Amino acid sequence: MLPELNIETRFGSYLADRGAVVSVADGLPGFERCRRFVVVTAPTLHPFNCLQGLDDSKPSFLTLDPRSVVEGYATGLTADDRERLDVADGDALLWLALVRLDGDRALVNLRAPVVINARRMLGVQLMAPDSPYSTEHVLPLD
């Protein structure tokens, strides 16, 4: 059994399984040199997760399941996206919307979610210009 990774994020320190490292072949916009990420889940982050980069500048993002933000949230994968993620029938996909804090507001990017194929540990950020969703959906902070 491999030892756990000690993950330092801007939200705190966490432990993660070494098998939880996700490869993002193209990186994320603005962080193209960072190709390895880990999804950190912890009670102290709930209802958020942290998508933490392991390479280069080690970017750190708050994320949410977009279905927890908008009931009925749905967006499809193109054939190219399915190929990049090596998606097979029945694969479990993890959908994460990036959250940005702007003063006293939290904005969720529902237009460009990060999708992870849990079987292959491959991820990609979708870029759907024709999406009905906003890049700055205001998250109610109740």
Of the pLDDT bands very low, low, confident and very high (cuts 50, 70, 90), residue 142 is low
Residue 14 β-bridge partners = 7
CB within 8 A of 111, min separation 6: which ones? 128, 131, 133, 134, 135
Domain that holds residue 90: 5-139
Q: What is the pLDDT of residues 2-57, one digit of tens each?
A: 678 888 898 889 988 888 899 999 999 999 999 999 999 889 999 999 999 999 88
Helices (H), the chain: 79-85
- The answer to whether residues 61 and 38 touch, using CB atoms and an 8 Å cutoff, is no
Domain count, the chain: 1
Percentage of residues in the chain having pLDDT higher than 90: 68
pLDDT at 18: 81
CA distance 103 to 122: 33
CATH number at residue 132: 2.30.290.10
Q: What is the pLDDT of residues 60-102, one digit of tens each?
A: 999 999 999 999 998 889 999 999 999 999 999 999 999 998 8
Amino acid at 11: F
Using DSSP, state whether 68 is helix, strand or coil.
helix
